[in-house]
A and B are shown apart, each in its own frame.
Chain A
């Protein structure tokens, strides 16, 4: 499971303030904490700073990689911000995200084309948000084939089928999971990825729903997630679900996690 640590995101109030105040130490601590908790990528987002996004994003990449030996997940739809951040990034970054929305697709494709960058491919088009598995698969098909044609390797693509709240339509959970299964079956070597907290919007006891949704999605083949890695219960849940789904040879990760007391809350 590829874990993208989601905490360095300017739309979270405290983080937005920390970025604006250029509070390097606080942000670096969160980067380190996420890395130590198991994040493979550290998401960086400065989306709220209209006009200053490129310089803030670049600064975030620099200060994160000063203290953490991990790539960043560059979270922006703006090609200028992405390129400014990539210029200082060490290693192979992930871009979050391309979609089938014309403007976004055309802005990001040239940046990705022929590179080894990882990319989150969000199942959204100018026709609106997909609701069914079939609508998601139709968008995924166009997106993935378009990326492959532009010399992006299939194993560098992380399709996000788009999570929608089950509170507003009770089929949204199952349609998402069918899409995960379909995408993993249709494209050999591809990955799937999602931020999953949307599933529980509008309902009480959200962490419980989020964790259960994660387990169920892992059973359908989900192998990437944008989450808060400091959430010990969620991380433990992922480790357990992967062992049960047959993704953890000889249950080694599970047992390592046990010895490291990751199941002690």
Chain B
């Protein structure tokens, strides 16, 4: 069976959608537990994608194709995963801060987190501090990811953290922040928990924060 799982990982890395779906079906037919298919076949494949992306050995178009492949395999697998055994790595709420409409980086980060086994709630762009607060109340995430691509909207990150404090929710979530003008220094200053320089870094950061 490890051969089948190895092939599954290879199909994910290569972005072979039909192949990954076919292998997932084969594994199901062979009687493998859905949770095992996920944790021993699909997730190790995405792990390799993440590592190679980080090492500049795979690039965004290839990573997007791998994520689509993962998604296609999960369409087959998800109905078979019962609530109890679909072990998520954690829930992340993600959004671009108020006044900022840039979504490309935020979408890449969401995609990487999903590939890394996290449940992602994407609040979209132009997300107000209150919407982040409401999102935390509704979804009880372990993590929040904020994106800002403008120096003029970066201060909203600080306001969002303040709003979480005022709502008494700051201790319940770890806050990650990123985007072109954002720096480690800035995240330290506003009281965030982690800074991500690029989408490739986010899965490791999220895993560390939820460990």
| B56 A204 Cβ-Cβ under 8 A | yes
User: What B residues does A124 contact at CB under 8 A?
Assistant: 101
Across the interface, do B101 and A128 meet the contact criterion of CB distance under 8 Å? yes
Chain B residues, CB < 8 A from A202: 59-61
Q: A48-B151, A202-B59 are in contact. Are A168 and B102 (CB under 8 A)?
A: no
Check B191 for interface membership: any CB of A closer than 8 A: no
From residue A127, how far is it (CB to closest CB) to chain B in Å?
A: 8
Contact in complex: B61, A129 (CB < 8 Å): no
| Chain B positions 55 through 82: 1 when the CB is less than 8 Å from some CB of chain A, otherwise 0 | 0100111001000000000000000000
CB contacts (< 8 Å) of B151 on chain A: these are 11, 47-48, 50
> In this complex, what residue of A is CB-closest to B200?
A202
A-contact 0/1 string along B164-198, CB 8 Å cutoff: 00000000000000001100000000000000000
Nearest opposing residue in chain B for A127, CB measure? B101
Chain B nearest CB from A21 CB (Å) reads 17
User: Is A77 an interface residue, CB under 8 A from the partner?
Assistant: yes
Q: Does A170 have its Cβ within 8 Å of any Cβ on chain B?
A: yes
Instruction: Establish whether residues A50 and B155, one from each chain, have CB atoms under 8 Å apart when the complex forms.
Output: yes
A168 near B64 (CB under 8 angstroms)? yes
Residues on A facing B (Cβ under 8 Å): 11, 47-48, 50, 77-78, 101, 103, 124, 126, 128-129, 164-165, 167-168, 170, 201-204
Bound-complex Cα distance A126 to B102 (A): 11
Compute how far the CA of A124 lies from the CA of B80 in the bound complex, rounded to whole angstroms. 43
Interface centre among B61, B107, B108, B125, by most A CB within 10 Å? B61
B123 to chain A minimum Cβ distance, whole angstroms, is 14
Q: Mind listing 20 A-B residue pairs with CB under 8 Å? A: A11-B180, A47-B151, A47-B152, A48-B151, A50-B155, A78-B152, A124-B101, A128-B101, A128-B103, A129-B102, A167-B60, A167-B61, A168-B64, A168-B107, A168-B108, A170-B61, A201-B104, A203-B61, A204-B56, A204-B59
Is B152 touching A129 in the complex (CB atoms < 8 A)?
A: no
Query: What does the 1/0 interface line of B82-114 toward A look like (CB < 8 Å)?
Result: 000000000000000001011110011000000
B104 contacts A165, CB within 8 Å? yes
Inter-chain contacts of A128 with B (CB < 8 A) = 101, 103, 125
Which residue of B60, B104, B108, B155 has the most chain A CB atoms within 10 A of its CB atom?
A: B104
Give, as a whole number of angstroms, the nearest-CB distance from A1 to chain B. Answer: 26
- Whole-angstrom CA separation of A167 from B155 in the bound complex: 29
Within the complex, what minimum Cβ distance (angstroms) separates A49 from chain B? 9
Tell me if A168 and B101 are in contact (CB < 8 A): no
Most buried by B among A47, A124, A170: A47
Closest 3 CB pairs of A and B: A202-B60, A167-B60, A47-B151
Contact among B60, B126, B180 for A168, CB-based, below 8 A = B60
Q: Are B103 and A167 in contact (CB under 8 A)?
A: no
CA distance A251 to B161 in the complex (A): 58
**Bound CA span A124–B99, Å:** 12
Q: Are B181 and A203 in contact (CB under 8 A)?
A: no
In the complex, what distance in Å separates the CA atom of A101 from the CA atom of B126?
12
B59 touches A203 (CB 8 A): yes
Cβ contacts under 8 Å, B99 to chain A: 103
Q: Which residues from B are CB-within-8-Å of A78? A: 152
Taking A47-B152, A126-B101, A203-B61 as known contacts, 11 extra A-B pairs with beta carbons closer than 8 A to each other, sorted by chain A number, are A77-B152, A78-B152, A126-B126, A164-B104, A167-B59, A168-B107, A170-B61, A202-B60, A203-B60, A204-B56, A204-B59
| Chain B residue with the shortest CB-CB distance to A53 | B151
**With the chains together, A78 CA to B101 CA distance in Å?**
18
**Residues of B close to A164: CB separation below 8 A:** 104
A164–B108 alpha-carbon span in the complex (Å):
14
